[in-house]
Amino acid sequence: MTQREKLIRQILSNPQNVRFVDACKVAEALGFVHKGGRGSHTAFAKTGEPMGLNFQNRNGLIPPYQARQLIVMIEKYGDDCL
């Protein structure tokens, strides 16, 4: 099992405790590109995907609802990055 697979499994099993840097790594592994952001927010977009990802760094973690949005994208595009 690769480190990326371990990270994805960790996110899937515990969306309440997802580190901001890990969320950004997984988003990029799924093919999303960093598009900037303001303040504590960081935005990602993917060509052909109408829904973007937006992560807020709250003391090193992202809010659970943003982790659930990331999980939706992992379920949709996860086979491409493993």
pTM over 0.85: yes
> pLDDT band for position 80 (50/70/90)?
low
In the 8-state DSSP scheme, what is residue 38?
S
Average pLDDT over residues 2-9: 90
Per-domain residue ranges of the chain: 3-81
Radius of gyration in angstroms for the set of CA atoms belonging to the chain, rounded to a whole number: 12
The pLDDT of residue 57 is: 94
Paired tokens of 61: 């973690």
Q: pLDDT for 10-38, tens place per residue?
A: 999 999 999 999 999 999 999 999 998 88
Residues 41, 53 contacting (CB under 8 angstroms) = no
HSE-CB for 61 with a 13 A CA cutoff? 10
- Superfamily of domain covering 3-81: Hypothetical protein. (3.30.920.30)
The pLDDT of 39-46, averaged and rounded, is 92
Please check the confidence at residue 81 and state whether its pLDDT lies above 70: no
Distances, alpha carbon 25 to alpha carbons 8, 34, 61, in Å: 10, 10, 13
